[in-house]
Structure 1
């Protein structure tokens, strides 16, 4: 049956109006998956060059401790790469990464005739970019050291389920005199201050959270409080190991696992990356 001109006109107008007021296609609407925060578990662990609290080198023991953390990214301090007999001249960073099925970036503090010692980041996510920054150091390899810029402040760029994240790992000076740490904190703030992304700082700071030399860090970052000390591992009495986060990174919880695989205990934190 043929439509009359009037009926055809009404249907045409109705179609135009429907197209005008129809909601936008679902492809353009934000979905729950795109707005939800992204969970991330991170850890910081001074691994004592592969030796436990008993001072015995045992990479199997450290692998087990790291695996038990179920972390997506781990900052390691006191890492040997063909450094000395104490770690059997092995590539500790590379071996742990291979065993755990993680990517690795090693940032040497010292490189001497093919021997290296420094910090590292292990990551379940692909490392897109990495930089070994210089900060002030007082060398343990120079018989007459003076404070000077030296490498060993590692940074990696990750993309965690589409969210950009920069992870930093550091090991600050161990001496009782805080003057070198004061300079290192200033260097750290300067370097990280250039980075406008979400940031996580992992490391052994060799100072407690209330130390005056660390106070400037807490202007920029939030110290993740795990509720327990980290050093020494056997009967810990102070926290000198850290996870710290920038705005855009929320803290869901943190803990200090009970392990003697190193002379430190690790700190593990559950975070959320805000989209």
Structure 2
């Protein structure tokens, strides 16, 4: 093969230099340095992928059943529907922490919990339902922090001391004071009337308020008249006059009845109604998706 002339040699050198430059660029692009690559934001990635509760879903559940305590079952049903806030009644303190932890484990959502009891620790219901010396009462769980927690024991408790708890948290992205209560049992309408008076007296002081709980009374019972003065039940079929359209929620004698409530003041409007989910308990899980309008 003959040697190239000077012009051919110069052309060959240029081509060789171009080849080397392209090869070097390819190597650099294939292995970027740390300074050349901007790391992705772990905070942004986490927020984009983090699971969340239904932000405007509020629920109530009386968890106890004569068949026994079932914190795993409670966590399972709550994990399925992911309420932002839920009020629990007839619940053992130790079970509240189990439900919270299992709910967080199942959903990846950090739930917060507050518990309160009203009976003395030696009351028979504690020994029977929760074990000797363990506490039994009501609780609030929320997917947002619970602040300014408060509790109140009713003046008229009936056969058991009863009361309410309340706290500030977020519902539909706004701060609201949420109440949870369990009123006196059947046959104690005068006690329930007194309890409603105390509950409404406090709840009506707040611009945004939601009241959850087991009221042991149907909407048209006279003792609930005070609730209708400042609140609306999220079920449009329920009102101060009996209606067969009102969703029943509890296995009460001699038929199923509406005992479990999502009350909202005029800062909120309900969604299409309430959902009542059959559970292991003698009460349904009852929830509504409410919307802030204030």
Same fold (TM over 0.5): yes
Within 5 A, what are the aligned runs for 1:167-186? 167-186=178-197
Shift of 1:174: 0.7
Q: 1:222 aligns with which of 232, 236, 255?
A: 232
Q: 2:135 is paired with a residue of what secondary structure?
A: strand
Select which of 133, 145, 149 maps to 1:126. 145
2:81 paired with 1:78: no
Q: 1:58, CA displacement in angstroms?
A: 2.6
Task: Tell me, yes or no, if the aligned pair for 2:177 and 2:206 is still in contact at 8 Å.
Answer: no
**Structure 1 residues 9-158: aligned runs within 5 Å:** 40-48=56-64, 51=65, 55-81=67-93, 91-101=94-104, 102-112=111-121, 114-138=133-157, 140=159, 152-158=163-169
Structure 2 unmatched runs, 5+: 1-53, 105-110, 123-132, 238-245
Q: In structure 1, the residue corresponding to 2:166 is in which secondary structure?
A: strand
1:251 matched residue in structure 2: 270
- Note if contact 2:162-2:183 (Cα within 8 Å) is conserved in structure 1: no
**Of 220, 227, 247, which residue of structure 2 is paired with 1:210?**
220
**Superposition deviation, residue 159 in structure 1:** 3.6
Counting helix residues as a fraction of each chain, which structure ranks higher? 2
Q: 1:212 and 1:263, CA in 2 relative to 1: closer, same or farther beyond 3 A?
A: same
Q: How many residues align?
A: 216
Contact 1:156 1:167 in 2 (8 A): yes
What is the distance in 2 between the residues matched to 1:267 and 1:161?
18
Q: CA deviation at 1:133?
A: 1.5
1:201 paired with 2:200, answer no
- CA, structure 1 residues 242+58, in 2 after alignment: closer, same or farther (shift >3 Å)? same
1:57-103 deviation per Cα after TM superposition (whole angstroms, max 9, x unaligned) = 3322221112122210000110112xxxxxxxxx0111111111210
Larger RCO: Structure 1 or Structure 2 (Cα < 8 Å, ≥ 6 residues apart)?
A: 1
Conserved 8 A contact 2:164-2:180:
yes
Measured against aligned partners, the alpha-carbon deviations of 1:95-130 in whole angstroms (never above 9, x if no partner) come to 111111210011212241653111111000111220
The CA RMSD over aligned residues, in Å, is 2.5
How far apart are residue 56 of structure 1 and its match? Answer: 3.7
Measured in 1, the distance between the counterparts of 2:173 and 2:284 equals: 31
Note the 1:229-240 alignment, pairs <5 A: 229-232=248-251, 237-240=256-259
Work out which of the two has the higher radius of gyration on C-alpha atoms and give 1 or 2: 2
**How big is each residue's C-alpha offset from its partner over 1:205-224, in whole Å with a ceiling of 9 and x where there is no partner?**
00000001101110100112
User: Does structure 2 conserve the Cα–Cα contact (< 8 Å) formed by 1:40 and 1:72?
Assistant: yes
